[in-house]
Structure 1
Amino acid sequence: MTPTDHPGSGPVARTGGAHEFSTVSSTDVYVGKILALRADEVAMPGGGQARREVVEHYGAVAVVAVDDADQVVLVHQYRYPFGRRLWELPAGLLDVEAEPPLRTAQRELAEEAGVAAEHWELLVDVDTSPGFSDESVRVFLATGLSDVALPDAVGDEEADLVIRRFPLAEAVAMVLAGEIVNGPAVGGLLAAQAVRTGQARGRPADAPWIDRPSRFRARG
């Protein structure tokens, strides 16, 4: 029994994937600038109900930008919840109305890292914490890099960013050594290595995104 199940629900017969987890009721707990928290009562197998707390999110994009020397652009960014700086991919929220994910990725790469790219393809979509959040991050591979001017003015956290290029193989080793732990960065770097070494192929940059979040934006 999970902490949010109703007491006394007890064991139930297995349904083999046939049960429909319908929402019985929904209550907003908190609505903020970039996320919301709601509490739903959900119909469970066996006829009972369980409370599920869900964090709604805009969704985001991230970019594995690899240059002609097979070096990848990483940013060192302070993450307040963990109390330390993490090595991550250039990334950003899908918080601009009607902006396609690819355009968001192109803009964020330029604004965070001062880089533009000629070629774009899709690596992976990462549902970061599906047990309690609808956040999903689309990770692109960008190649054919060139430098562009960084913005003169940036946000508070961006002002502290450190931008550095690592050999892709070294970045993958950092993932496996536990030195890169950001979820989209882990998935994106491993996928990029597979694509760059010919073990896999990327997808078109505009491929369908099944889990792209929409509920938070629909709040208006």
Structure 2
Amino acid sequence: MSPRAAMIFAAGLGTRMGALTATRPKPLIEVGGRPLIDQALDHAKGAGAAPIVVNVHYLADQIRTHLAREPVLIADETAGLLETGGGLKAALPLLGPDPVWTINSDTAWAGPNPLRALAQGWRPEMEALLLLVPTARARGYRGMGDFDLDPTGRLARGTSHVYTGAQILRTEGLAEMPDPVFSLNRLWDRAAGRGGLYGLVYSGAWCDVGRPENLPLAENLLRVGAP
């Protein structure tokens, strides 16, 4: 079954952004003259996602106000952060039982709609399909990489590719997690062990916008476009 609903992760504290998030949440920091969350929302709407759910925690009222006229549902985490896995599990009553798209709100994209790209690559045997970029062209990324991709498209932990923050995920495995607060990494590792974790390389350009020094990189990406 193809995804119908989308989850936009917008509940983080944004501590790496320093003074920029002292009075506003990271999803409302502007890149290219628009708040970061707007591009994620554009992708969800452009992929035909319904419903679209946004989780909120830090300075949540600002995000609620910004999205007041948008076709979104709010998953309230103001009582406590649940991390990506816990947040998605808590939002399931809003999202429904089918596979879902998820997308982070602190990234910039130039090229095809990432959620549409994932939908085109989704197959029924997949537990999760993660959108990747090669580590060598991951703008703003400081790590060693996240995954290796084999010829069948399956993923294992490695360094050749970076997870972009967009995926399609079957949600049945969330029920196996007893803790209310947990990372989606736990779900991915279980899926990988069963051969159900897959990756798709994004054909456009991507930038992590998690640090202040990455803002010029993201601005340039949006201005120049994909290579």
Query: Higher Cα Rg: structure 1 or 2?
Result: 1
Q: Do they superpose with TM above 0.5?
A: no
TM-score by length of 1: 0.24
TM-score by length of 2: 0.24
Greater per-residue strand proportion? 1
